[in-house]
Chains A and B, each alone.
Chain A
């Protein structure tokens, strides 16, 4: 089942912070985050695995709450280059675990 992302779209001014949420109705093994700029391929940001870890690099980080079956992506002090659509992908347990992607959150950073 497709994970639910919120918000669907957000506009930020440079320097502002944003949080993108991803929730699933199924028990999760992993959560992927990707960013896609218009007309380009999705680019991998990070993976969080079962265990409730938090990851991050530069000013982008993410958390994974497996009990709540949720992940959140945190973008701090946003830059123009952060603009794009952010997708979460969730992996569930059992066999060849498939990754199911949400419909995305469109983020626009303006000067």
Chain B
């Protein structure tokens, strides 16, 4: 099993460009998440999904969009890149049979380091 795979690993964007960060998992997890990590700030939840076709906002969703058409894939879209979106982005997944996911461990991908200049 590959676990959670994120691509690309690194990217430099110009202000105003758009891009999609890819995330795929092969563990058949129903929950998936996108976090951003800024130095000294911990992990901030951008969006999460409880299953195919269902997504919801996290703490810092502005400037981002997501979709979940399959169990495996959860791409994150930046439409108009801004310098404030320079960060390390982590995708994670977990499995829960109930409505709560906070009682299950999250498995993280290796991250995408994004710089916007």
Contact = CB atoms under 8 A, between A and B. Distances in A.
Given A41-B108, A41-B110, A47 B42 contact: no
Interface in A61-95: 87, 89, 91-92, 95
B102 A99 contact: yes
B62 interface: no
Given A29-B100, A91-B100, A96-B100, A44 B41 contact: no
A47 B104 CA distance: 7
Nearest to B50: A96
B45 A98 contact: yes
Interface residues of A, number: 26
B68 interface: no
Nearest to B104: A47
Interface string A87-111: 1010110011111111110000000
14 contacts: A29-B100, A40-B110, A41-B109, A42-B108, A44-B106, A91-B100, A96-B99, A96-B101, A98-B45, A98-B102, A99-B106, A100-B45, A101-B42, A101-B43
